A and B are shown apart, each in its own frame.
Chain A
Amino acid sequence: MIRARGLAKRYGDRRIFAGLDVDVPDGGFLLVTGPNGSGKTTLLRVLAGLAAPTAGELELPPRQTVGYLGHDPLVYRELTPLENLALFARLYRLPERGERVGMLLERFGLWDVRHERVSTFSRGMQQRLGLCRVLLPEPSHLLLDEPYNALDAQGAALLDDVFVEERTRVVATHDPARVERLATDRLAFA
């Protein structure tokens, strides 16, 4: 469960948002919409515990149960997909790491390129790997910022499958049509 009361965030003199209440029950899907620069990314960073709010009360899940994907896929470009996921599997102290990593690489169509450097990948393939990293510890909470960015039709379909799984989900997008039907709550930034 994610809960916030009177949430505010400022960067210097610039107010990003203020007086925001957020409730995402377990298994809920909060769809955050709004134009570029409206505060969607900042809200997700605050809810992920990556940025401190300027004011307000926050009730967040433990950080290791949160899967966060920002604008970048958050993977090391000079490592291979296998090395990236092996590193994070170790840091998350996952049992049977090899199996879990292999299964995700297969699922997202990256098994055949598992030994190639991420820097040689297209943006869409990097996004797929970013999703693998997010799903690696089987997080109960997903916080995804424009997750469909750069994904082709096949990649987007794989992401659709992720969204129907039983998790608490907060998704920020400026193109809500794809996930509108799944949303249980909506938050629109002006």
Chain B
Amino acid sequence: MNYVSDVAALARKDLLLELRAKETLPSMLLFVVSALAIFHFALPRGTSDVAARGLLWSALVFTALLGLTRAFVAEREQGMFDALVLTPVDRSAIWLGKAIAVLAFLVAAEIVALPAFAAFFHGLNGRTVAAVALADLGICTVGTLFGAMAVAGRARELLLPLLFLPTAIPIVVGGVGGYLWFLALYDAIFGLLSWAAFEYVVVET
């Protein structure tokens, strides 16, 4: 029960910080809508559904990357990992709280992005929406782990895409193909790995 309330408190704190700063979500919204608009005008009429879905997934992955880049700004600039790590909170709760906050931003961006995609291209089906929902879980769990790792590095803006984008390839494959079982399996495996690995990310070696 403590674990759940710790995660809730940490996620609430991140949502409150974003509510005050208004830096991450507006950037994500602007980026995803702009990207879809550019793709709409760049693609010839009569483009196949598969090509359009591929562009949707590209836009979503890069939008998520934008959110992940900003996810640990407060912890980095104000050294907050040190304060959080010294509390009796399980370290994985810090990861889960952050992943939930990133997920909330991503879902908020998608609430605008998916209707925009439907308007610009060929509409949406339930399978694509389900795939996006499943992919969001994988993106946020893995991306949050890599975000924390990148914070410790010197070239953090470079490090996060280098770590995150290769692991996002299966998400794009599963998303474009609509392989829901594959996305669910990805979420389970990488979610568990990220949960277990976070402990080793937050303490300096």
A residues lining the B interface (CB < 8 Å): 45, 48-52, 63-64, 66-68, 70-72, 74-79, 83, 87-88, 90-93, 117, 133
Instruction: Write out the residue numbers on chain B whose beta carbons fall within 8 Å of the beta carbon of A52.
Output: 203-205
Check if A78 sits within 8 Å of B88, measured CB to CB: no
Whether A87 lies near B204 (C-beta < 8 A) is: no
Given contacts A51-B204, A78-B74, 11 further A-B contacts (CB under 8 A): A45-B82, A48-B82, A50-B203, A63-B88, A74-B78, A76-B74, A87-B13, A91-B6, A91-B9, A91-B87, A91-B88
Q: Is the CB of A50 within 8 A of B86?
A: yes
A-B contact count (CB 8 A): 80
B interface residues, how many (CB within 8 angstroms): 25
Quote the shortest CB–CB distance from B148 to chain A (angstroms). 15
- The interface stretch among B14-22, B25-33, B168-176 is B14-22
Q: How far is the CB of A126 from chain B (nearest CB, A)?
A: 10
Q: Which 5 A-B pairs have the closest CB atoms?
A: A74-B83, A51-B204, A91-B87, A64-B88, A78-B20
Contacts of A79 in B (CB 8 A): 13, 16-17, 20
Q: A70-B79, A90-B5 are in contact. Are A48 and B17 (CB under 8 A)?
A: no
Majority secondary structure, A binding face = loop
Q: Is B80 an interface residue (CB 8 A)?
A: yes
Is B82 a contact partner of A50 (Cβ separation < 8 A)? Answer: yes
A76 and B80 form a contact (CB under 8 A): yes
> Does residue B133 face the partner (Cβ distance < 8 Å to A)?
no
Complex Cα distance, B101 from A59, in Å, reads 36
Q: List 18 A-B contacts (CB under 8 A).
A: A45-B82, A49-B86, A49-B203, A64-B86, A64-B87, A64-B88, A67-B86, A70-B79, A71-B79, A72-B78, A74-B82, A76-B74, A76-B78, A83-B13, A90-B6, A90-B9, A91-B10, A117-B20
Given the complex of chains A and B, what is the CA–CA distance between A154 and B75 in angstroms?
A: 29
